[in-house]
Each structure stands twice: as structure tokens, then as C-alpha cells.
């Protein structure tokens, strides 16, 4: 079987005899390529070819649709060395968000000002959401499938669950919770619009060519409590699963936060895979405990906490010990794919990532 065949079996929760190793180092590659600090041997190589060079399985994200707004919604972006200001104007109001640069131009930005600051902004965001339209754009996915070949799989990522879209992305969690308590009706109206629109987008991806459809949740059980999860996440996930029925797609959630308190509810969601699950020392749960809770009902992709590939987080000896004692015993176990939790950081000791394939062979 090819690596693609093996990966597809594993991600569909079928037993394989090997450990699928699907490293996510996109952020590491982005920063080091642009800052001129990429190891010499990788310069000029594509992400996929670097995965091949370290004998991993390709986990390739690609676009599957475009978003368009009606003519009454105007977007203005001001970008400079210090920040990016995004202003969206509508007939019912204007909202503004600001992303400030942190460590450099090519690194993650800090969302210092969110679109939603008060209840009036919620109404403006609802107008913006209602004006969203989606157009199929499968060219990126087809290109990714061709480039990936028999060495891995391709996925389309779309929106976070609607509550997270509102609370994390639109308002910021602290302000969002105040608004939710004080103006739940208005918040729920926005979330309902998001749900309707996001499902429209999902239908387009469901008819596309990717192997996996993934929600960009960045799920965290500290901010999304079990009660919120039950009210907002489970019903939405279930509707997504219905939309994907009969489409031969794997349904995946990006769960890169501290989710140990949510794992007991995963089987109810309809998710096939939860990806980037964080375990000790970055969360209060071991990898084996997480797998035991999931009980082979949902695939876990993850297993290597990001801090362990950094000199600040562990020695190389500690890293090797972790792979041999925690990961290697899972070889041949159903419902597990070895990946990063969440990403290889820019300052990583990348030789540790290179070592994994040999350590698990």
C-alpha cells in the first residue's frame, strides 16, 4: 500500500500496522523561510518535499471555496510595519479590528482590537454574516492532490464552530462572555446566522475533492466549558456530519487547546478525528488517558507536544525517551495518528522532527 492508502485507512479508524507520522511544521517553515534561517539543505524545497525528506506522511491543507460579500459591505485594509487595520462598513454600522505585529513581519500577529466591542457591533456583524456568499474554488485542492500524490492526504479547512467564531474571533473571549450574559438573544441571532452560512459553505466543500473537511476551532476546554460545548458545539457538529453524509469525507476538528474536560463528549459530535490534541506537559492529561477516554470511537491525531521539539522544553534525550516510551508502544493501535500538538514552533530544534521516523520504525 502507498502512504496515501495507509493514511486514509488510519484516518478512517481502520487498523494499520505502522505509525502514520504526519508532521505539521507550516509555521516553522513560513517564519524560517522568510527570515533566512531555514536549514541550508531545505532551501528551495517545497513543504511536501521536506515531509518526504524526513519520511513523513503529507497532511496538505488547500482551499476549496471563495467568500464573497454583497455590494453593500465594504472592506478597507490598512497595512503598515506595526499593524494591520481591517475596517468593514455596512448600511447598519462599521466594525474595526486591529492585528499588531509581535516578533516580526512573518510571525503571528496579536489581535489587539476585535470587531465586536458592544451590542451594536453584534448587529453589524450579523449583517455582514448574512451578506456572505460562497463560490466553489476546487483548483487549489486539485493542485494539492496532484502535488501530494501517493504520499499523503489533502484537507479543506473551513470556519470554527459559530460560538467560537463569535467569542474568540469576533469579540475576544472576555468581552464575548459579558455580551453573552447581558445580550444572549442578540448573540444567539448572530450564531444562528453563522450556523446557516457555515453549513452552506460546508455543502460546497462536501462536493469537492479533499479527503478531509476540518473545522478551524482551536478548541479549548477552559474557554469553551462543557455546558457551552453541549449547547453550541455538539448540535452544530451533528448538523455538519449530516451535511457530509454520503460524501466520503472524513470530518475533523482542530482541537489544539486544553480539551481534557471535553473529550468525554467527542463521540456525540459526529467528528471522525480530533487533531492537534495537547497532552502533558502542556495539558493536564496524558496521551494514553486521552486515547482511553476516546475508546477507539474517534481518531486522535497528535501526540507530540510542541514544547518537546524545543530546547527550552526538553533535552534531546528527554525527547527520545518520550518517543520510545509514550509513542512507540502505540504502533499498530487503531484510532491514533502521530502528529504535532499543535505546530512545530519557529525556534524548534528541527533535528528532533527529523529523528521521529527512525525512532518509530
| Per-residue model confidence as pLDDT tens digits over 318-336 | 999 999 999 999 999 999 9
Check whether 153 has a pLDDT greater than 90. Answer: yes
Angle at 216 between CA 211 and CA 220, to 5 degrees: 130
Check whether 97 has a pLDDT greater than 90. Answer: yes
Give the CATH number for residue 241.
3.20.20.210
Please report the pLDDT score of residue 102 as a whole number.
Answer: 87
- Rounded Cα–Cα distance for residues 315 and 298 (Å): 32
- Rounded Cα–Cα distance for residues 48 and 27 (Å): 14
Which pLDDT band, with edges at 50, 70 and 90, does 52 fall under? very high
Q: Are 275 and 339 in contact (CB under 8 A)?
A: yes
Quick: pLDDT tens for 99-144. Answer: 999 888 889 999 999 999 999 999 999 999 999 999 999 999 999 9
**296 located within any domain:** yes
> Which one-letter DSSP state was computed for residue 117?
-
Residue 60 lies in domain: 3-67+131-360
Grid cell for residue 89: 462598513
Quick: pLDDT tens for 161-174. Answer: 999 999 999 999 99
Whether residue 176 sits in one domain with residue 275: yes
**Which sign does the torsion angle of CA 46, 52, 56, 57 carry?**
positive
Whether residue 284 sits in one domain with residue 148: yes
> Which residue among 59, 86, 115 closes a domain?
115
With a CB cutoff of 8 Å and minimum separation 6, the contacts of 305 are 278, 279, 280, 281, 282, 313, 341
**216 located within any domain:** yes
pTM of the model: 0.96
Whether residue 173 sits in one domain with residue 151: yes
What integer best gives the mean pLDDT of the chain? 97
Whether residue 48 sits in one domain with residue 88: no
Amino acid at each position: 500500500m502507498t502512504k496515501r492508502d495507509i493514511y486514509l485507512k488510519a484516518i478512517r479508524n481502520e487498523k494499520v500496522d505502522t505509525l502514520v507520522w504526519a508532521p505539521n511544521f507550516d509555521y516553522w517553515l513560513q517564519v524560517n523561510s522568510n527570515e533566512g534561517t531555514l536549514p541550508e539543505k531545505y532551501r528551495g524545497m517545497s513543504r511536501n518535499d521536506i515531509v518526504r525528506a524526513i519520511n513523513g506522511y503529507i497532511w496538505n491543507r488547500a482551499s476549496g471555496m471563495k467568500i464573497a460579500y454583497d455590494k453593500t459591505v465594504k472592506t478597507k485594509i490598512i497595512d503598515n510595519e506595526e499593524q494591520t487595520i481591517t475596517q468593514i462598513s455596512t448600511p447598519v454600522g462599521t466594525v474595526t479590528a486591529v492585528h499588531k505585529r509581535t516578533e516580526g513581519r512573518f510571525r503571528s500577529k496579536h489581535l489587539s482590537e476585535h470587531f465586536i466591542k458592544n451590542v451594536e457591533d453584534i448587529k453589524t456583524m450579523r449583517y455582514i454574516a448574512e451578506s456572505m456568499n460562497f463560490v466553489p474554488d476546487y483548483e487549489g485542492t486539485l493542485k494539492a492532490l496532484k502535488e501530494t500524490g501517493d504520499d499523503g492526504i489533502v484537507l479543506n479547512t473551513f470556519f470554527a464552530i459559530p460560538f467560537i467564531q463569535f467569542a474568540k474571533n469576533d469579540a475576544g473571549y472576555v468581552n464575548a462572555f459579558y455580551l453573552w450574559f447581558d445580550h444572549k438573544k442578540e448573540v444567539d441571532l448572530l450564531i444562528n446566522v453563522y450556523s446557516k452560512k457555515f453549513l452552506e459553505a460546508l455543502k460546497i466543500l462536501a462536493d469537492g475533492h479533499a479527503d478531509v473537511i476540518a473545522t478551524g476551532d482551536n478548541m479549548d476546554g477552559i474557554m469553551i466549558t462543557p455546558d457551552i460545548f453541549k449547547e453550541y458545539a455538539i448540535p452544530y457538529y451533528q448538523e455538519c456530519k449530516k451535511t457530509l453524509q454520503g460524501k466520503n469525507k472524513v470530518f475533523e476538528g482542530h482541537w489544539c487547546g486544553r480539551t481534557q474536560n471535553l473529550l468525554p463528549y467527542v463521540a456525540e459530535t459526529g467528528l471522525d478525528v480530533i487533531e492537534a490534541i495537547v497532552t502533558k506537559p502542556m495539558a493536564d492529561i496524558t496521551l494514553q488517558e486521552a486515547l482511553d477516554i476516546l475508546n477507539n470511537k474517534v481518531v486522535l491525531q497528535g501526540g507530540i507536544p510542541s514544547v518537546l521539539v524545543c530546547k527550552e522544553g526538553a533535552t534531546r534525550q528527554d525527547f527520545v525517551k518520550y518517543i520510545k516510551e509514550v509513542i512507540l508502544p502505540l504502533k499498530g493501535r487503531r484510532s491514533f495518528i502521530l502528529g504535532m500538538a499543535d505546530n512545530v514552533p519557529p525556534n524548534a530544534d528541527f533535528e528532533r522532527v527529523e529523528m521521529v521516523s527512525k525512532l518509530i520504525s
